[in-house]
């Protein structure tokens, strides 16, 4: 069910063109966003959240392999439908048709990132399709289990703040070095005015315990900062570092501690933990078959 709100963010960027080297050897043949999490691929959770947040246009940033996988996943499968009809496999046919109708009303666009030059560079490729509108940026690596979709939680903040908003989760100190970390002034329950962003701080040096999952709303001025951003030591344009530069120059940004559970899937260990959690939960559900 789609939650109602005065949502004015109707576009979303989903960057997918990374090489997923942390998932070798499986990532040689399967794009990371199609790794299974319990009974669905990661990308499906992202699409459900997008749909339930009122998004009308999704821009995927892809390479040739992502494009092939996504095209097959999103398009109708008449031959498979016919096969299931002939076999009288009603249950599977209903499941397939339900999936094929699930994202009606949403348009999907694809832009390419020729080389994996970082998340910031990937987001910049979508600028023309976003135009002068705010947009969501969502990473399928991060699945947020929540009653109200994470994107919609951010949209409620944006409706009042009218500036870039990043999702936040509190993490133990030993985990912070893997993420962008925010420091700021708490101005309301769960809401922080961001003063500083440190991308993947060295152990013991994080400015706070507020880590940024892959859920954000950005305003059009972010693209200008991405255009002038310099590559880091890995030769990539870092999205987190660019947001940090914006804040340093005085741009207003808010962080919202998301309600829900963050199921991290950005590396093998986190993905396996998230799989174990959801699989156990589903197996306890008497309606799950």
What are the pLDDT digits (tens) for 80-128?
999 999 999 999 999 888 888 888 889 999 999 888 889 999 999 999 9
> Are 14 and 49 contacting, i.e. CB atoms less than 8 angstroms apart?
no
* The pLDDT value given to residue 271: 94
Whether 3 has a pLDDT exceeding 80, the answer reads no
* The pLDDT value given to residue 228: 93
* The pLDDT value given to residue 218: 97
* The pLDDT value given to residue 2: 41
* The pLDDT value given to residue 26: 86
* The pLDDT value given to residue 286: 56
What are the pLDDT digits (tens) for 227-269?
999 988 888 999 999 999 999 999 999 999 999 999 999 889 9
Whether 44 has a pLDDT exceeding 50, the answer reads yes
Bridge partner list, 254:
165, 193
Strand ranges, E, within 107-154: 107-112, 135-138, 142-145
Q: CATH number of the domain at 11-284, please?
A: 3.90.550.10
Q: How far apart are CA 149 and CA 251, in angstroms?
A: 26
* The pLDDT value given to residue 68: 86
Query: Residues near 262 by Cβ (< 8 Å), separated by ≥ 6?
Result: 142, 143, 144, 169, 213
Whether 22 has a pLDDT exceeding 90, the answer reads no
- For the record, the structure tokens of 163 come out as 């500036």
Whether 7 has a pLDDT exceeding 80, the answer reads no
> Which letter does DSSP use for residue 35 in this model?
S
Whether 4 has a pLDDT exceeding 50, the answer reads no
Place 63 in a pLDDT band, splitting at 50, 70 and 90: confident
What b/e sequence results for 46-77 when a residue is b if at least 16 CB atoms lie within 10 Å of its CB, and e otherwise? bbebbbebbbebbbbbbbeebbebbeebbeee
> Are 217 and 134 contacting, i.e. CB atoms less than 8 angstroms apart?
yes
> Are 242 and 231 contacting, i.e. CB atoms less than 8 angstroms apart?
no
What b/e sequence results for 156-168 when a residue is b if at least 16 CB atoms lie within 10 Å of its CB, and e otherwise? bbbeebebbbbbb
131 φψ region: left (φ > 0), alpha (ψ -120 to 50), beta (else)? left
* Cα separations in angstroms, 217 against 56, 74, 211, 251: 15, 25, 16, 14
Q: How far apart are CA 27 and CA 268, in angstroms?
A: 11
* The pLDDT value given to residue 6: 40
* The pLDDT value given to residue 283: 84
Q: Tell me which of 169 and 19 has the higher pLDDT.
A: 169
Domain ranges of the chain: 11-284
The model carries a pTM of: 0.91
* The pLDDT value given to residue 214: 95
What are the pLDDT digits (tens) for 268-285?
999 999 999 999 988 887
Whether 287 has a pLDDT exceeding 70, the answer reads no
Average pLDDT over residues 9-19: 89
What are the pLDDT digits (tens) for 208-233?
999 999 999 999 999 999 999 998 88
Place of tokens 């666009």: 109
- As a whole number, the mean pLDDT across the chain is 90
What b/e sequence results for 2-32 when a residue is b if at least 16 CB atoms lie within 10 Å of its CB, and e otherwise? eeeeebebbbbbbbbbbebeebeeebeebbb
Q: Give the up-direction half-sphere exposure of residue 4: CA atoms within 13 A in the CB hemisphere.
A: 0
- Percent residues over pLDDT 90 in the chain: 71
């Amino acid at each position: 069910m789609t939650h109602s709100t005065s949502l004015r963010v109707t576009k979303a960027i989903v960057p997918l063109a990374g090489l997923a080297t942390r998932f070798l050897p499986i990532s040689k043949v399967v794009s990371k966003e199609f790794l299974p999490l319990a009974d669905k691929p990661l990308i499906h959770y992202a699409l459900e959240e997008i749909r339930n947040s009122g998004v009308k246009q999704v821009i995927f940033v892809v390479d040739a392999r992502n494009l092939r996988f996504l095209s097959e996943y999103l398009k109708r499968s008449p031959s498979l439908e016919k096969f299931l009809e002939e076999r009288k496999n009603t249950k599977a046919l209903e499941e397939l048709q339900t999936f094929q109708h699930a994202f009606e009303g949403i348009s999907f666009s694809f832009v390419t990132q020729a080389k994996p030059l970082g998340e910031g560079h990937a987001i910049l490729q979508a600028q023309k399709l976003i135009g002068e509108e705010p947009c969501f940026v969502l990473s399928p690596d991060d699945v947020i289990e929540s009653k109200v979709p994470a994107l919609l939680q951010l949209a409620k903040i944006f409706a009042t703040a009218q500036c870039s908003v990043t999702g936040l989760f509190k993490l133990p100190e030993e985990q912070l070095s893997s993420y962008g970390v925010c420091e700021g002034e708490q101005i309301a329950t769960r809401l922080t005015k961001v003063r500083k962003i440190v991308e993947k701080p060295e152990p013991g040096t994080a400015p706070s315990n507020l880590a940024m999952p892959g859920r954000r709303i950005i305003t059009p001025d972010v693209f200008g900062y991405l255009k002038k951003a310099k590559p880091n030591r890995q030769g990539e344009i870092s999205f987190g570092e660019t947001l940090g530069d914006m804040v340093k120059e005085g741009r207003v940004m808010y962080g919202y501690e998301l309600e829900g559970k963050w199921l991290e899937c950005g590396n093998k260990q986190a993905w396996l933990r998230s799989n174990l959690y959801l699989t156990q939960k589903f197996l306890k559900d008497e309606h799950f078959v």
